Amino acid sequence: MATRRSRAAARMMMAPAVVLLLGWMLVPLTMTLWFSFRRYLPMRGGDLGWAGFDNYVRFVSSSAFWPSIQATLVIVGGVLAATVALGVLLALLLDQPIWGQGVVRVLVIAPFFVMPTVSALVWKNMFMDPVNGLFAHLWRLFGAEPLAWMSEASLPSIVLIVSWQWLPFATLILLTAIQSLDREQLEAAEMDGAGPLSRFVHIILPHLSRAVTVVILIQTIFLLSVFAEIFVTTQGSFGTRTLTYLIYQRVLESQNVGLGSAGGVYAIILANIVAIFLMRIVGKNLDA
């Protein structure tokens, strides 16, 4: 149906978006790749020449590298576990016939719209402060010694804050998936004597597996680059220096651009490994 003229017009219409994104991807990426092979210290002499793979080796062998990988994994893993588990439960609950369903939905979704700097600061000061925080009041109420969350339990604190932000996302997607479930199938299973638990394990859970995968992949991509929550709370101290934060510090704080860029290349590779899986799922959906 499409004529040659309409094809040419279609290409013209696509051109601005394609060219812009191509530039946005290729220019900085090429620069990062270039810097990663240079000894580049803007504050201490500038570009000091070719460095080979030195930056790559030094980035990985620095004492901060493995702890940063560990912090990243704890945060990504912790938030994924919390949001998926609680998200499934919440989605099941919100799918039930209840009074005021719309209002409850709105309450549950709200945290997603709170900007990261606000949620991090509100949690850090008003909830987790060891003297005046709400948790400290609660702990004292039960006669316990208040916890200095941000220094004594820094990683769990960050996981808690970030999970609170992402739980609505997981819940909403899982709820959408549950609502697309074939009701008749559930009713048939019930007639055949399947209890609530076996209905959940054998029908609902398999139906949700795709949505859960999508939640995990999309969240992982965003969680790998969590930044503001650490920036305004611990500034990377107390073991909360993630790979993203470490690269940020190398590049902007200690102005070792060569080293930071090598770290950046690692981060890009890591993100792409996750992305490949996501793209496969999304791509399959496009054909359908």
Partner 1 sequence: MAREHSPRRKALLTVAAWTAGLLIFFPILWTILTSFKTEAQAIADPPLFLNFDWTLENYAAVQERSDYMRFLWNSIVISGASTLLGVLIAVPAAWSMAFVPSKRTKDILLWMLSTKMLPAVGVLYPIYLIFIELGLLDTRAGLTVVIMLINLPIIVWMLYTYFREIPVDILEAARMDGADLRAEILYVLAPMALPGIASTVLLNVILAWNEAFWTLNLTAANAAPLTAFIASYSSPEGLFYAKLSAASTMAIAPILILGWFSQKQLVRGLTFGAVK
Q: How far apart are CA 18 and CA 203, in angstroms?
A: 42
**Segment contacting partner 1 by CB under 8 A, of 12-20, 43-51, 56-64, 75-83:** 12-20
Q: Could you say which residues in the range 222-281 bind partner 1, by CB under 8 A?
A: 224-225, 227-228, 231-233, 244, 247-248, 251-252, 257, 260-261, 264-265, 267-268, 270-272, 274-275, 278-279, 281
Residue 195 interacting with partner 1 (CB under 8 A): no
* Single residue of 39, 164, 216, 236 touching partner 1 by CB under 8 A: 164
What residues between 113 and 142 interact with partner 1 by CB under 8 A?
113-119, 121-127, 129, 132, 134, 137, 140-141
Q: Is 144 in the site for partner 1 (CB under 8 A)?
A: no
Q: 229 and 119 in contact (C-beta within 8 Å)?
A: yes
Q: Which stretch binds partner 1 (CB under 8 A): 45-53, 58-66, 73-81, 91-99?
A: 91-99
Of residues 27-86, which lie at the interface with partner 1 (CB under 8 A)? 27-29, 31-32, 35
The angle that helices 65-95 and 101-109 make with each other, rounded to 10 degrees, is 170
Closest to 225 in 3D by CA, of 265, 267, 256, 260: 267
Q: Is 187 in the site for partner 1 (CB under 8 A)?
A: yes
How many residues lie near partner 1 (CB under 8 A)? Answer: 110
- Other residues' Cβ atoms within 10 Å of the Cβ of residue 41: 16
- 219 sits in the region (left: phi over 0; alpha: psi -120 to 50; else beta) called alpha
C-alpha 242/C-alpha 249 separation (Å) is: 10
